[in-house]
Amino acid sequence: MKKILMLVMLVAALQGCGVREPMPAEQDIDTPTLTPRASTYYDLLAMPRPKGRLVAVVYGFRDQTGQYKPTPASSFSTSVTQGAASMLMDALQASGWFVVLEREGLQNLLTERKIIRASQKKPNTPVNIQGELPPLQAANLMLEGGVIAYDTNVRSGGEGARYLGIGAAREYRVDQVTVNLRAVDVRSGQVLANVMTSKTIYSVARTAGVFKFVEFKKLLEAEVGYTTNEPAQLCVLSAIESAVGHLLAQGIERKMWQVADGKGAEDPSVDKYLSQNVADAPAQ
């Protein structure tokens, strides 16, 4: 009996050494929280203020990968979030450079305006809808693109060790998501700037176990472990935020839009994006 207790305690110690984050049962899953943000979000907040905000529209930012989750998941369950347009609009507003006009729900907006006009012809009309509706604001910039690639098992591997039937192991898998974002001049249709960004998605599995005869014809076998999957939607959000930052940096470098303080490409937050472009460029 003492041998069994010692072996179980040893397995627990091995697992505790390999795990730094809390087990799922230890996490508070009852309280809703704000969506966690990556460093790309704070890079957007650090961008210099514009001389004048750009009026932009997003008609859609669709999943163009055609990827579905592998079995045993449903064949109708996509690997990539279908809400990328909402993520893009959030990133545009977070940057402070854009006035984003509603276009994805344009039909709903037009229907509501018709209802208001019909209500104005009736008696006892509420004061807040008595005035004449102004025309919808037009944009000078249209943002297009989408999630263009989702690659699974880009890299995989692991390590482990076992001694006298007692061991621990760790396995990992790396996926990758790629988004494209381009700014189009509404008047001419010219593509002013175009960027592609990629973000890796990590999945890690940790296990520890024991397989040992404690007495003749008495076998002890125990195993513990858990798997951590980085949320794919947060990786898509981070890639979109990075794409918005690179798009702004390109426009500032090419003097298509101006910074309020006049520094332009010399601003440290802008130079951070431009230096990444230089680092990623192939050697000549």
pLDDT in tens, 64-92: 888 777 766 566 778 888 889 999 999 99
SS3 call for 219:
strand
pLDDT in tens, 160-203: 887 777 888 888 888 889 999 999 999 999 999 999 999 988 88
Tell me the CA end-to-end span of the chain in Å, nearest whole number.
Answer: 69
In the chain, where are the structural domains located?
Answer: 2-21+38-125+135-277
Q: Where do we find the tokens 């005035």?
A: 131
pLDDT in tens, 2-50: 454 444 445 454 444 444 455 454 555 668 888 888 889 999 999 999 9
CA distance 274 to 252: 10
Cα angle for residues 238, 94, 90 (degrees, 5° grid): 65
CA distance 95 to 248: 9
* DSSP code for 34: P
* Residue 47, amino acid: M
Q: Are 145 and 184 in contact (CB under 8 A)?
A: no
> Which residues are 63's β-sheet partners?
147
Range 2-21+38-125+135-277 classified under CATH 3.40.50.10610? yes
Paired tokens of 118: 């019909």
How much of the chain is in helix, strand and coil states, percent to nearest 5? 35, 35, 35
On whether the pTM is more than 0.85, the answer is no
CA distance 65 to 47: 30
